[in-house]
């Protein structure tokens, strides 16, 4: 049997162990730079290593190992932690020992782990864009919550628009960051302000002014109000560029999705053909390597749409699956939640789930699990979703649903 290797990944240096039939052949450290990574891959290939186990599924080191023709197993840290007692009685831990345990897992438990399969360059690009946008949206939400909290503390009258981080709301708060700045603001001045900032809402300017005046008045003193005004101005200044970058990334995602060969598979699942973010995230997270999910059950588990069974004696329960791709779970849940409003089959699956006593999140996962069966079939056969070929949907239509 060919030697196996385990790599304990670190940001500066990686501990490597090469073993054969349980015996350590060699140990060495490799720095996380070009020379270190090149030397690491060279030494592994020269040692005849065919399979490597590592604790992470992505990154430059993983990509270089795959490019060198090595089979790479991504071991979850919890799985590594559970395996340590197999090789040591004492509850010790070291990077060198973890590298050995990983090498042994690659030798004895290869059937338990999926080998990493690289995606195409187009899919990697789409994944980078969608994940970066998601991170920026998270930062925007965090800053928007801070801004809302500051305004509620001393100037709730500024919260007259639906979203505090919308373009017109940020423009309003930047122009009127404190009650003193909005003193004397009437319907005529409000109308002029809205016109300058391209407000497309249907709310009358007089009503917005009435909302502002009806809000509770704060009691902050001059010093506190000045400090909070400065904080509000800082948060608005930070939110503006983030919102612009999200818009820019969204445009890039639309372009990248349009050029991706799998875009046509997922887009028919959405009512609006211009929808891009959700189908792009599906393409990015599922990938384009069909061997990654040989069954629809594997995809459902990775998407967090199937429960985890707990059985012991008379106890038999199904619990929420926490170990999954959180981004994929959120995207499939978004698909399920939107389709239940307009797709007859999705609406019926959701209705039946609620009728069985499931709460909304549980019913969404039930519907998501049903959509996974459709998604996986379309994805594996590389055909767009066609309602005419959707058996359960057609049977529902025949029954008059």
Q: Among residues 324, 288, 291, 293, which one has the least CA distance to residue 307? A: 324
| CA distances from residue 347 to 5, 105, 114, 287, 361 in whole angstroms, order as listed | 50, 45, 35, 28, 15
Q: Which of 229, 256, 283 is the last residue of a domain?
A: 256
> In whole angstroms, what is the distance from residue 4 CA to residue 19 CA?
6
Tell me if 66 sits within 8 A of 118, measured CB to CB: yes
What's the token pair of residue 143?
A: 């800053």
> In whole angstroms, what is the distance from residue 282 CA to residue 220 CA?
48
What is the DSSP track for 99-168? HHHHHHHHHH-GGGSPBP-PPPHHHHHHHHHHHHHHHHHHHHHHHHHHHHHHHHHH-GGG--SS-TTSHH
State the DSSP code for 258: H
Per-residue tens of pLDDT for the chain, all 401 residues: 799 999 999 989 999 999 998 899 999 999 999 999 999 999 999 999 999 999 988 899 999 999 999 999 999 888 999 999 888 877 778 999 999 999 999 999 998 898 998 899 999 999 999 999 999 999 999 999 999 999 999 999 999 999 999 999 999 999 999 999 998 899 999 999 999 998 887 889 999 999 999 999 988 888 999 999 999 999 999 999 999 999 999 999 999 999 999 999 999 999 998 899 999 999 999 999 999 999 999 999 999 999 988 888 888 888 888 888 999 999 999 999 999 999 999 999 999 999 999 999 999 999 999 999 999 999 999 999 998 888 888 888 787 65
Q: Which of 112, 145, 167 is the last residue of a domain?
A: 112
Q: Among residues 35, 293, 242, 251, which one has the least CA distance to residue 140? A: 242
What is the DSSP track for 297-339? HHHHHHTT-S-EEEEETTEEEEE---SS-HHHHHHHHHHHHHH
Residue 389 lies in a domain: yes
Tell me if 136 sits within 8 A of 245, measured CB to CB: yes
Kindly state whether residues 42 and 99 are assigned to the same domain. yes
Residue 32 lies in a domain: yes
Residue 261 lies in a domain: no
Burial class (CB in 10 A: 0-12, 13-18, 19+), 175: middle
Number of domains in the chain: 3
pLDDT of residue 353: 96
Kindly state whether residues 230 and 275 are assigned to the same domain. no
Q: Among residues 109, 85, 113, which one has the least CA distance to residue 97? A: 85
Kindly state whether residues 86 and 150 are assigned to the same domain. no
Residue 391 lies in a domain: yes
Residue 262 lies in a domain: no
Q: What CATH number does residue 52 fall under?
A: 3.30.420.40
Q: Which of 84, 112, 140 is the last residue of a domain?
A: 112
Residue 117 lies in a domain: no
> In whole angstroms, what is the distance from residue 286 CA to residue 255 CA?
19
Q: Among residues 364, 288, 3, which one has the least CA distance to residue 127? A: 288
Q: Among residues 252, 101, 229, which one has the least CA distance to residue 174? A: 229
Domain range for 231:
124-256
Q: What CATH number does residue 217 fall under?
A: 1.10.287
Q: Strands 51-54 and 4-8: what pairing?
A: parallel
pLDDT of residue 322: 87
């Amino acid at each position: 049997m060919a030697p196996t290797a385990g790599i304990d990944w670190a940001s500066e240096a990686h501990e490597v162990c090469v073993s054969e039939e349980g015996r350590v052949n060699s140990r060495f450290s490799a720095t996380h730079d070009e020379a270190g990574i090149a030397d690491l891959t060279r030494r592994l290939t020269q040692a005849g290593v065919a399979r490597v186990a590592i604790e992470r599924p992505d990154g430059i080191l993983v990509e270089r190992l795959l490019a060198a023709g090595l089979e790479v197993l991504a071991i979850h840290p919890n799985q590594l932690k559970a395996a340590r007692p197999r090789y040591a009685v004492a509850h010790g831990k070291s990077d060198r020992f973890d590298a050995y345990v990983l090498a042994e897992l690659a030798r004895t438990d290869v059937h338990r782990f999926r080998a990493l399969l690289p995606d195409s360059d187009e899919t990697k690009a789409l994944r980078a864009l969608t994940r970066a946008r998601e991170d920026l949206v998270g930062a925007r939400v965090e800053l928007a919550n801070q801004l809302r909290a500051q305004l509620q503390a001393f100037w709730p009258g500024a919260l007259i628009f639906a979203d505090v981080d919308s373009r017109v709301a940020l423009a309003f708060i930047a122009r009127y960051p404190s009650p003193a700045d909005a003193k004397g603001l009437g319907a005529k001045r409000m109308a002029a302000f809205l016109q300058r900032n391209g407000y497309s809402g249907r709310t009358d300017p007089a009503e917005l002014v009435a909302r502002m005046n009806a809000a509770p008045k704060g009691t902050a003193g001059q010093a506190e109000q000045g400090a909070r005004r400065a904080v509000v101005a800082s948060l608005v200044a930070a939110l503006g560029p983030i919102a612009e970058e999200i818009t820019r990334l969204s445009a890039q995602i639309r372009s990248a999705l349009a050029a991706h060969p799998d875009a046509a598979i997922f887009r028919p699942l959405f009512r609006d053909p211009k929808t891009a973010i959700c189908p792009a995230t599906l393409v990015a997270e599922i990938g384009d390597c069909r061997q990654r999910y040989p069954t629809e059950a594997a995809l459902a588990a990775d998407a967090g749409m199937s429960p985890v069974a707990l059985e012991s004696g008379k106890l038999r329960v199904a619990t929420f699956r926490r170990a999954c791709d959180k981004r994929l779970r959120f995207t499939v849940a978004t698909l399920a939640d939107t389709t239940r409003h307009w797709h007859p089959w999705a609406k019926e699956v959701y209705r039946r789930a609620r009728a069985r006593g499931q709460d909304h999140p549980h019913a969404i996962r039930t519907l998501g699990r049903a959509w996974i069966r459709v998604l996986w079939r379309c994805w594996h056969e590389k055909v767009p979703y066609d309602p005419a070929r959707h058996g359960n949907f057609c049977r529902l239509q025949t029954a008059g649903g």
